[in-house]
Amino acid sequence: MLLPNFDKKIKYYLIALIIIITGAYFLNNVVTSNINLENQKIEAQLDKTHNDAIINAKAGIQVYATIVSSLKSFTNNSEEFPSEKLLQKYLNDILKEIKFNDSILINYIDKDHYFRYIITPKQIDPQNLKGINVSSFRSKERIEELERILLSEDIRIFSPVNLREGWTGFPFNFSAKNKNNEVIGYFAPIINVKYLLDFFYENNKYENFAHKFVINDTLDLTREAFYNGSEIFNSKKDEEYYKNFDIKDSDFIYSTIELFGLKLKIGSAFKNKPVVEKSIYNLAYISYALVSVLLFVALHQYLRNRYLNKSLKTANKDLESNLLKIQTLIKEIHHRIKNNMQMVSGILLMQEGEYEDENIKKALRDSQSRIQSMSLVHEKLYGNSTLKEVKTKEYIEQLINFVEDTVKNKSTEIIKFIKIDKDLSFDADTTSNLGLIINELITNSFKYAFDDTKENSLSIEITKDSEHYKLLYKDSGSGLPDDFDIETSESLGMQLISILTEQLGGTITYEKEPESTFVIYFNPLEKSFHG
């Protein structure tokens, strides 16, 4: 039996384990999906911010294009090559139309690379560069690039420059022609990079993002400086420079926009990348783990209780079987005791015929009656399903009938009043003592109280008060002598009544008037469930 039960337990545990693993798999999928969804929302937020900034930056490029294209068109279409003053006036007219307030510098340089015009919206040649050759502060490679500009009709832009004026600009370049359409040099408008880069920070919703601007894939550009190794004349620092924040390069997303041939790589990232709050998911895992543990505990308890119930049922069956055997044995014992007592009673009856002396015969009949009262207890016990208790009313009625048959004169008529609850039961020892007491009282009534010449009666009542049971016995006789004292009586019957009453933890009193009455208070030797 043990091995099959063990196999069943293993089966239940395996099923529970499979359920828990399956549940954990689905829980993990749900948690992972939610985390991925949250990460996608974060990435989508970054993508949107980046794309919005790129769109705004392209709008800024169009402003650059408008300024530079207008300048080129103005210089090429003028009847006379414009003077510094005229070019400055035209520049201010353009800027007023497009509401451009950032720094701008226009240089006109001849074919030999000497500065001829240096114009700002408010000043002419603020740094005294007229007559200085560009080659004095530009590399040979840059000069060669400028030579190619002289041969091109296109507007080109070079890498940003850090200007002596204290700002950084995009240097645009296009060829300059006289009225005969001859190339006489080139214009180099330099427009502040800040105008374009401000588009990435113009809205508060972008304050959680950092942007990276890279020229030629390696050189950083900010609104205040270009970090290409050249001298920086601006003491200001761009507070939004990405290196001011602890951001990994892998956290950036990049796009490249083209600005008149110059490729500007733009990256966007969170200054502090949002982290998906995982505490609620960890709580879900912990809760699931606790539920799983509780499931195993409940399963273990269920299987244990099931095993115990089965064991209990088996034990109960064994107990019932043993109890049946014991009950049968007890019944047999009671039956044999009853038979033995009846045998003794029969022997006493036989001996009664051998004696002529009435005193001896009387003593033998008394003994026979007492034995019969005890025998009747055992008869009632083996006929009772509990084998422990005797229904008191039924027992006393039979006891009275036996005494009546044994000692009553045939001519004597008796009225009997029995007032006992039909469900009242006492244990065997209590019933036996009570039976002997009543047997003595009834026998005395038949012997001394009843008379053939008058109406005879006896009354037996058993009731219960708060603490004791009360036996009230009356007969219609004249009563005991006035000087009768139970305590000092030498009558064997009265002595027996006193002893048995004491064994029941009770007291006995006698009253002659108005009727001959014995009042006995007693307590059962064992508590009855029916009393």
- Residue 70 inside a domain? The answer is yes
Q: What is the pLDDT along the chain (531 residues), one digit of tens a residue?
A: 444 566 777 888 888 888 889 988 888 888 888 888 888 888 998 899 889 888 887 888 888 888 889 998 998 888 888 999 999 999 999 888 877 777 899 999 999 999 999 999 999 998 888 999 988 877 788 788 888 877 888 888 888 888 888 889 888 888 888 888 888 999 989 888 888 888 888 766 678 899 999 988 889 999 999 998 888 888 889 898 999 999 999 999 999 988 777 888 999 999 888 887 777 878 878 888 888 888 888 888 888 888 888 888 888 888 877 666 555 555 555 555 656 666 666 666 666 666 777 677 667 666 766 676 666 665 655 555 555 678 888 888 888 888 887 776 666 788 889 999 998 988 888 888 888 888 889 888 888 888 877 888 899 999 998 889 999 999 988 888 878 887 777 788 888 888 889 999 999 998 888 888 999 999 998 765 444
Report which of 255, 172, 270, 157 is spatially closest to residue 214, judged by C-alpha positions: 255
Q: How does 401-414 read in b/e, with b if 16+ C-beta sit within 10 Å?
A: ebbeebbbeeeeeb
Per-residue pLDDT, 42: 87
- Residue 165 inside a domain? The answer is yes
- Residue 333 inside a domain? The answer is no
- Residue 109 inside a domain? The answer is yes
- Residue 315 inside a domain? The answer is no
Distance between CA atoms of residues 157 and 52, nearest Å: 24
Residue 146 near residue 134 (C-beta atoms within 8 A)? yes
Number of domains within the chain:
1
Distance between CA atoms of residues 462 and 48, nearest Å: 101
Q: Is 99 helix (H, G, I), strand (E, B) or coil?
A: coil
Per-residue pLDDT, 1: 46
Q: Is 353 helix (H, G, I), strand (E, B) or coil?
A: coil
Q: Which domain holds residue 139?
A: 2-270
Residue 469 near residue 524 (C-beta atoms within 8 A)? yes
- Residue 25 inside a domain? The answer is yes
Per-residue pLDDT, 400: 84
CA angle 435/437/439 to nearest 5° reads 65
- For β-strands 183-192 and 168-177, DSSP reports them as antiparallel
Q: Is the dihedral of CA 215, 219, 222, 224 positive or negative?
A: negative
Q: Is 41 helix (H, G, I), strand (E, B) or coil?
A: helix
- Residue 155 inside a domain? The answer is yes
For the chain, the C-alpha Rg in angstroms (whole number) is: 64
Per-residue pLDDT, 109: 92
Per-residue pLDDT, 269: 93
- Residue 342 inside a domain? The answer is no
CATH of the domain at 227: 3.30.450.350
For residue 307, report the phi and psi dihedrals to the nearest 5 degrees.
-65, -45
Tell me the one-letter amino acid at 243: K
Distance between CA atoms of residues 214 and 263, nearest Å: 9
